[in-house]
Structure 1
Amino acid sequence: MTKIVIIGAGVWGTALSSVASQKGHDVCIWSRRSEERFEDVLVGANIVLSAVSMSGVGSVVSQLQSLPIVPETIFVTATKGLDATTTRTPSQIWQAEFPANPVVVLSGPNLSKEIKQGLPAASVVASTNKKAAEVVQKAFSSPNFRVYTNPDPLGVELGGTLKNVMAIASGACDGLQLGTNAKAALLTRGLTEIIRVGADWGAQPETFYGLSGLGDLLATCNSSLSRNYQVGYQLAQGKTLRDILAHLEGTAEGVNTTAVLVERAQRRGISVPITHQVYRLLQGEITPQAAVEALMLRDIKPE
């Protein structure tokens, strides 16, 4: 039996807790509202999984730094986002602060509500530490939750993060009732854009054709359960971003990710036309209809 501490009591954290508990592991969920002390919950933990929003990663890492953490403890990050100041990914933040500990990324086409319902799903755990990835794989694999390992944590992490931008665009596409052809074109070109950014970042291009890339893109861009999809869909219905976010259950990480990605792309000279239009839409600079026109009227070129 493995002791697993899950930080974050939101829908994703509780879904992962359910998966691990069904395997018979000793699972504890801790959040800022917990009555138990953080240091007490962590005693004897083999795996510490962070399922907090991107804005909470820094705080959690800071709290853990003041506690005695043994090198054998495996940190798992299930957060999909980018740091607004440094553009670092969650795993890069974790690894920088805990260089002696293995860090594993968990990501895939995993809609939390479907996981909690026990519906079949697959995910990916990625790390440069093969043994640590395999430990996490065994801890979370079940008949309803198939887990694969991958040696490219950056690619796995970026796939799950960048597709949130495309999910906003996809939601807007459906909200405008633009049809299947338009959406197929959007997702295909969106994947190309994700791979372009990921390759520049140092990730392996082939990773983005796997579960954590294409798989997560398809799931998030085709489901009303996706918070990022809902942002785009409701913007196309005429609602304001402020009103949408105020009534959204959980965090739509794609909103912050879009701004960080645009800044990085400009600095690195990377072409991100879809991301750029999503950014203008979120900033209120353009209507969903005008964003579509801007993409369709770009200069013609080879695929």
Structure 2
Amino acid sequence: MAPFITKFDPYAPADFVVDKEAGTRSPARLEKIAIVGSGSWGTALARVAAINAATLEGFDDEVRMWVREREVPGKGKLTDIINTTHQNERYLPNVELPDNLIAVSDVKEVVKGATLLLFVVPHQFLPNVLHQLAKPGVIDPKARAISAIKGVEVDLRDDGADIYTYPYVIEKALNIPCSALGGANIALDVGKGEFCETTIGVPSPKDAALWHAVFDGPAFRVHPIEDVAGVSLSGALKNVVAMAAGFVDGMGLGGNTKAAILRHGLIEMSTFTLEFFPTASPLTFSHHSAGMADLITTSFGGRNRKCAEAFVRAKMEGNPKTFAQLEEELLNGQKLQGIATAREVFLFLQARKRLEGYPLFDKVYRISFEEMDPKRMFEDL
């Protein structure tokens, strides 16, 4: 599908108030951005959004970011540290954050008065967050949301299973439209201002224009497309394939093998999305950053690849470790998405009796959870 026109006009006819006596017009309301999440990726996106909010007409300068409060040994509360030093030293150290980005520990205070909500929490925490925000009067009923959460939600039944993207989950819980953001974006690189691209799947041209305004900049180029499901599924499934890439690295195999795994993985990602979300576009995987580019980046530099490599190496060295142990040892408080998504996808395909159509997804699960020999990953490909 073709990208939407994305030029943001804060004085579009439905959105301005005219003062005939003064001969002026002004926005009917200021757009106010709230960031629900403060991990490395959330902080990097919050930095981009806050920089843009400070310069865009029609936007409130202040951007609030929800931080799950914790004590940093010898330094005090994390919110105080962020607001004083303008760095998130726990999750994105040595990256300067703009002064108008404010860390807040109460999620209800973060979203108070906000019209644009970015959700970027680990998916394990989302149900509790939505439970708090869905209460009457907490969020603006005319607000819009965007999800940068990587994962899926599966509902298992006696007669099968259903699968949902997180934009869908957010829309249903809060009754507001939700877009999806995903692309070849390593958080630290985005935080340092290195050039990259991202894709935003949107439900309408207005969402395209607003989110383009929030995130687009000289070093962070945004391409909105009308494919919320495709962007969201690509962001979830690429973490499963990145684990397979990590298994390849853990076995000490070379670029030929890794390239083959990525090719098979991209095919399964696209096939899965189009089979179970038929309104999605195949171009999302081949033409946009949310597809092949994101898969490549994650399979060479992401946390899922890193932990999957360590998982196989530890097993080969006779000192096996669980993914929970590796998450604790290697990720500095961050959470793995790939291992949970691999399980959800496997259970869904098993319930739908479609495992034979996705041999790589099947093997990633069995290596991770059923002690399958990683060398068997190449069977049936």
Return the letter of the residue paired with 1:72: K
Cα distance in 1 for residues equivalent to 2:105 and 2:347: 40
Structure 2 alignment gaps of length 5 or more? 1-29, 55-60, 70-78, 80-103, 156-161, 315-319
Superposition pairs of residues 106-185 of structure 1, within 5 angstroms: 106-185=181-260
Which residue number corresponds to residue 373 of structure 2? 287
Identify the match of residue 205 of structure 1 among 282, 286, 296. 282
Identify the match of residue 53 of structure 1 among 99, 109, 122. 122
Displacement of 1:42 after TM fit?
Answer: 2.2
Cα distance in 2 for residues equivalent to 1:188 and 1:31: 38
Which residue number corresponds to residue 364 of structure 2? 278
Displacement of 1:51 after TM fit?
Answer: 0.7
Check the 8 A contact 1:159/1:212 in 2, yes or no: yes
Superposition pairs of residues 186-265 of structure 1, within 5 angstroms: 186-202=261-277, 203-209=280-286, 210-223=288-301, 226-238=302-314, 239-241=320-322, 242-249=324-331, 250-265=334-349
Displacement of 1:58 after TM fit?
Answer: 1.0
Identify the match of residue 167 of structure 2 among 54, 66, 91. 91
Cα distance in 1 for residues equivalent to 2:131 and 2:335: 21
- Please report the TM-score for the alignment, with normalisation by the length of structure 1: 0.91
Which residue number corresponds to residue 108 of structure 2? 39
Q: Which has the larger radius of gyration?
A: 2
Cα distance in 2 for residues equivalent to 1:183 and 1:39: 44
Bigger proportion of residues as strand: 2
Count of matched residue pairs? 292
Which residue number corresponds to residue 20 of structure 1? 49
Summarize the Cα distance change of 1:89–1:222 in structure 2 as closer, same or farther, 3 Å threshold.
same
Cα distance in 2 for residues equivalent to 1:6 and 1:213: 24
Bigger proportion of residues as helix: 1
Structure 1 alignment gaps of length 5 or more? none
Displacement of 1:57 after TM fit?
Answer: 1.1
Displacement of 1:82 after TM fit?
Answer: 1.5
Displacement of 1:175 after TM fit?
Answer: 2.0
Q: CA RMSD in A?
A: 1.8
Summarize the Cα distance change of 1:180–1:38 in structure 2 as closer, same or farther, 3 Å threshold.
closer
Displacement of 1:109 after TM fit?
Answer: 1.0
- Please report the TM-score for the alignment, with normalisation by the length of structure 2: 0.73
Cα distance in 1 for residues equivalent to 2:201 and 2:344: 23
Cα distance in 1 for residues equivalent to 2:330 and 2:118: 24
Which residue number corresponds to residue 84 of structure 2? none
